[in-house]
Chain A
Amino acid sequence: MVATMEKNSAADAPGKVGTRQFVTFYLSGHLFGVDVIHVQEVIRAQAMTRVPLATPVVSGLINLRGQIVLAIDLRLRLGLAARKSDAPVMNLVAQTSDGPVSLLVDEIGDVIEVGADVFEQSPDMLKGVQRELVEGVYKLKSTLLIALNVNRVIQVGGPSES
């Protein structure tokens, strides 16, 4: 399934054959990426309405120009340490089959193009990060780019799951 997705998105992505473009962002100092075709927009912190009884991963709801969008705290979703309450936060609004979903991240990075040759599937070193949410890792020159599977990330389930 991961393989087919990759093929599709590789075909859709501009640039050289076999390369993909990622919107990158930081969480707890790690570099993560989401395929650019899944990204609708990036916006600053929004007024958030929390959803009682929901899993802590659900940060709340935001009003995106008249559309109500679920915001997921990506740190908690990936099993990373919680963000300090006063830390800055950005909304990365992803397009999913369930409509737009906002992923809360620490900081937005560049859009970068990576080749399939530096791709590696689910390496063992990714401790702490829930592995089924990760497509794989791109070994960049200075750092690693962890590519997330957006459609899995947004499956946060009901209130009981956590």
Chain B
Amino acid sequence: MDDITRDFLVESNENLSRLDQEFVQLEKDPENTGLLASIFRTIHTIKGTAGFLNFPKLVSISHFAEDILAKMCDGKMKATPATIDALLAGVDAVKDVLATIDATSAESDKDYTPIIQRLKAIAEGAPAEAGSSAAASPARRLSIKAAVPAATVAMEAPSIVTAPVTTPPIVTAPVVPAPAKPVTEVPHVEAPHPKDSGDVNVVAAEAVKSNTADSTIRVEVSLLDRLMNLVGELVLTRNQILQFAGTLENKAIVNSSQRLNLITTELQENVMKTRMQPIGGVWNKLPRLVRDVSNSMSKEVDLHVEGAETELDKTILEAVKDPFTHIVRNAIDHGVESPDERVRKGKSRRGTIRLRAFHEGGQVNIEVADDGGGIDIQRVKRKAIQQRLITEEQAERMSEREAVNLIFRPGFSTAEKITSISGRGVGMDVVKTNIERIGGAVDVINNFGHGTTLKIKIPLTLAIIPALIVSANGDRFAIPQINLRELVRLEGEAARKSIEWMQGIEVYRLRGNLLPLIRLRSVLKLEEDTRATSNAAGANLSNGAARDEIVNIVVLTADNQVFGLVVDSVNDTEEIVVKPLKSIHAFAGSTIMGDGQVALILDSAGLLESADAAEHKEEIKQAEVVAVEQADRSTLLVFTLDEQMRFAMPLSMVSRLEEFQISRVERTNDGEVVQYRGQVMPLLRMASHVGVTPPTDASTLPVIVFSDGERSIGMVVHKLLDIVDESARPQVENKRPGIIGTAIVQGKTTVFVDPYALIEAANPGFFRRSQSQPVFVQNSGRKGVRKILLVDDSPFFRNLTRSYLEFAGYTVDEASNGAEALKRLSVHPVDFIISDIDMPQVDGWKLAEAIRANPELKHLPLIALSGLESDDVRRHSTSSGFDRHLVKIDREELLKAVSQLATERDRVMELASV
């Protein structure tokens, strides 16, 4: 049943129940015109709405009733008991029809002709005849049938009875009278007697009544708000009592506080439900909107809706109403292409917009997806530059994600011309603000050429939210969970060392990403001695970090930015009731904690602003680039061969870490092997190759497995110690094959090994026999790439890359920066260049440009091998002349790229020489 019909039923039933009373009064006071007018209005409204909703029977009944009432109002007819009786019969018939509509959403095929005829006759001036004696019977509820002449009843009865029997309410009907009436009543229905038929009808009517009319009640929203507030307080009081009861031994109090706990929770849930409404209510107007907007733009768009029954708090629904209109409009205007264009692109003529709502993780997720053209990042950037929202430099540096988010900037618009629908540069920013104001978040997933999906997350309700309680300088603060990403706790050495200063702000490396830090104490000015932090950055490097033994970082999101909030301690999570607070940026409101104390709720976006971190945004980004390029820092596998010396190798080189029972080791004439994944895997005792004495054998062997294509080789170590993220700049010493040099890792001297060199030394040709061997080495003819220039300022990476290349059969020349590379190239010609990007003096991009500009060198294949990884960086590499941009450092990928480019080049050379 749709909402309009339901509203109509609720409203009509309310009015009709009043009508009964009014008729009774009218009988006593036939001249009361006010009463008559009221009755007339009610019937008139029902008639009007019934006509609109297309319920013809209802219209006919109410039409003649209205006629009679109109005449009474005009004084042309008197309200005789007989007339009133006929009218009441009419009202009953109306109720009957309404009950059927309530149950089945449609009028029954029951025949109301007798009552219609009777009303019509009276309206046309005939005296209210015949039925009057029957109508005088007090059983007015039965009067529909009772008032009908007996002869008719005999004929009509079966159809009257069977009609409701087939309708759903009858199924529930026996439930109502069950205690009072014997079950054997049911057969009576099948073999009806006129009198029984009346009874059954009453039963049905009563059962139906409790469906819509009696089961709903209109309540002021403000009353619900008040209830909500009170329940909020009750929840808090409950929390206090629970805390208190926890300290008591008294069993009775503990028991009743537990009951209180349960009841309060249930009460809270139910009161919350009173405010819930399906999101479909907001979506209802969208089909029309889609139709109008797409027509006016000559586009063809279908709207698909999924999850319209998903319920949301009324306040939140109100808040998302307008944003939806904007989003859907935008999707049609900017997203979906014109039918011709769609056909050209090989899509169906009609575009589709999909709305999907679902509950997930205590939030409501709403997705609006179109299958249009998606967002053209370059165009967005151009427009943003034109509209002076960003500078060209900023645009250059922007990641795709950031660029997409430009559409949420105030004043941004990509529409070429201003239409009535969009192009005014208002809309998406309003959408974002509205949704964020209610604690939600918007995300765009852009699939250029194939469509855009807007993902919206909003809380179920605003009144009570889960929050994390933290403290700083003795004060407690609540942080809404919705802003919370994760918690990081650093202790001891980690706390002292892992917080760094970069461009004047503190940062922490969280899984390779730089996390700008804000200290709650300083941003809220909770400390007296803020002198230290306000000093010039150089003087207080690591000042903050040095004094901390334990650092608690709360990782928060705000405006698509992630940052860490350093707090003194992280306490607990608590459900809190948000109470508004006069505007102070850093706070979203206040709340009362379980112990009755007031606590402030932190607003992460406001904190970021207060911390002026927004101003540092650019610096943070630059710092990030620097940091990634410092990415000698890599994940290292640390192990030992003899309990004393520590060894390390980049984890990226390792396929798997395994542990084998010593009993599984078998011997062949080539040495030790184990059966591993259906293959015979040779084992390499690393200790003997490095020249250390391993302790006496344990019962299990930790093995580092290296794979190359299908083949694997295992390297036996004594113990695997750790996997660490650390910057490793080993002092290079080429004393021994397979040993790169030493560096400090975790504060201890650690030997860096090159496993490939070790394997090559122990098992010559192992990798060369493998299937991923570069194709071109096999046909080592006159042509081909022999010599590669490797440009990298990090000796560690130079060494590593060199070893890969040499094993693959290439000769390698080295340079430590672009300038040196150019110098060497003029003296020692090479066939191929692999270069790092970020290097002192002349960087990789400049080097590539110089090479491409040099007629002698411009044909050389160029590979960029960098720690930098983003679309913009890749684009920059391509535009400055690199053939490929690879990320440090995947051996197989590198060799494959070299081999491919070499083959291409050979082909070109061949053609040129013909």
Q: Given A47-B597, A52-B525 in contact, is the A68-B579 Cβ separation under 8 Å?
A: yes
Residues of A within 8 A of B (CB): 47, 49-54, 60-63, 66, 68, 70, 158-159
Query: 14 additional contacts, CB 8 Å, given A61-B600, A63-B592?
Result: A47-B598, A49-B597, A49-B599, A51-B587, A51-B600, A52-B475, A52-B586, A54-B584, A63-B598, A68-B591, A68-B598, A158-B583, A158-B584, A159-B584
CB–CB B525/A66 < 8 A: no
CB–CB B582/A53 < 8 A: no
Q: Given A52-B526, A53-B584 in contact, is the A63-B596 Cβ separation under 8 Å?
A: yes
CB–CB B582/A158 < 8 A: yes
Residue B236 at the chain A interface, CB threshold 8 Å: yes
The contact of A66 among B526, B583, B592, by CB within 8 Å, is: B592
CB–CB A53/B524 < 8 A: yes
CB–CB A66/B236 < 8 A: yes
Query: Given the complex of chains A and B, what is the CA–CA distance between A70 and B600 in angstroms?
Result: 12
The contact of B586 among A53, A63, A68, by CB within 8 Å, is: A53
Residue B794 at the chain A interface, CB threshold 8 Å: no
The contact of B610 among A53, A60, A66, by CB within 8 Å, is: A53
**Which B residues are in CB contact (< 8 Å) with A70?**
582
**Which A residues are in CB contact (< 8 Å) with B587?**
51
**Which A residues are in CB contact (< 8 Å) with B586?**
52-53
Q: How far is the CB of A157 from chain B (nearest CB, A)?
A: 9
List the B residue with the shortest CB-CB distance to A62: B598
Query: Given the complex of chains A and B, what is the CA–CA distance between A63 and B597 in angstroms?
Result: 7
Query: Given the complex of chains A and B, what is the CA–CA distance between A70 and B582 in angstroms?
Result: 9
**Which A residues are in CB contact (< 8 Å) with B549?**
none
Residue B590 at the chain A interface, CB threshold 8 Å: yes
**Which A residues are in CB contact (< 8 Å) with B524?**
52-53
A-B contacts, CB under 8 A, total: 52
Q: Secondary structure at chain A's binding surface: helix, strand, loop or mixed?
A: loop
Query: Given the complex of chains A and B, what is the CA–CA distance between A158 and B599 in angstroms?
Result: 19
Q: How far is the CB of B239 from chain A (nearest CB, A)?
A: 12
Q: How far is the CB of A94 from chain B (nearest CB, A)?
A: 16
**12 pairs from A and B in contact (CB 8 Å cutoff):** A47-B596, A47-B597, A47-B598, A49-B600, A51-B600, A54-B584, A63-B596, A66-B592, A68-B579, A68-B590, A158-B584, A159-B584
Q: Given A68-B579, A158-B584, A159-B584 in contact, is the A53-B592 Cβ separation under 8 Å?
A: no
Cβ < 8 Å to A, chain B residues 438-497: 475
The contact of A68 among B475, B592, B610, by CB within 8 Å, is: B592
Query: Given the complex of chains A and B, what is the CA–CA distance between A53 and B591 in angstroms?
Result: 18
Query: Given the complex of chains A and B, what is the CA–CA distance between A50 and B524 in angstroms?
Result: 11
Query: Given the complex of chains A and B, what is the CA–CA distance between A60 and B585 in angstroms?
Result: 16
Cβ < 8 Å to A, chain B residues 244-298: none
Q: How far is the CB of B584 from chain A (nearest CB, A)?
A: 5
Q: Which of A47, A49, A52, A61 has the most CB of B within 10 A?
A: A52
**Which B residues are in CB contact (< 8 Å) with A47?**
596-598
Q: How far is the CB of A105 from chain B (nearest CB, A)?
A: 20
Q: Which of B582, B585, B592 has the most CB of A within 10 A?
A: B582
List the A residue with the shortest CB-CB distance to B606: A53
**Which B residues are in CB contact (< 8 Å) with A54?**
584
Query: Given the complex of chains A and B, what is the CA–CA distance between A24 and B617 in angstroms?
Result: 53
**Which B residues are in CB contact (< 8 Å) with A63?**
592, 596-598
Closest 5 CB pairs of A and B: A52-B524, A49-B598, A61-B598, A66-B233, A68-B579
Query: Given the complex of chains A and B, what is the CA–CA distance between A63 and B593 in angstroms?
Result: 10
Q: Which of A47, A60, A62, A68 has the most CB of B within 10 A?
A: A68
**Which B residues are in CB contact (< 8 Å) with A159?**
584-585
Q: How far is the CB of B522 from chain A (nearest CB, A)?
A: 11
**Which A residues are in CB contact (< 8 Å) with B475?**
49-50, 52
Q: How far is the CB of B9 from chain A (nearest CB, A)?
A: 40
Q: How far is the CB of B600 from chain A (nearest CB, A)?
A: 7
Query: Given the complex of chains A and B, what is the CA–CA distance between A60 and B597 in angstroms?
Result: 12
Query: Given the complex of chains A and B, what is the CA–CA distance between A86 and B587 in angstroms?
Result: 29
Query: Given the complex of chains A and B, what is the CA–CA distance between A51 and B581 in angstroms?
Result: 10
**Which B residues are in CB contact (< 8 Å) with A158?**
582-584
CB–CB A53/B598 < 8 A: no
Proximity string of chain B (600-635) to chain A, C-beta cutoff 8 Å, 1 when within and 0 when not: 100000000010000000000000000000000000
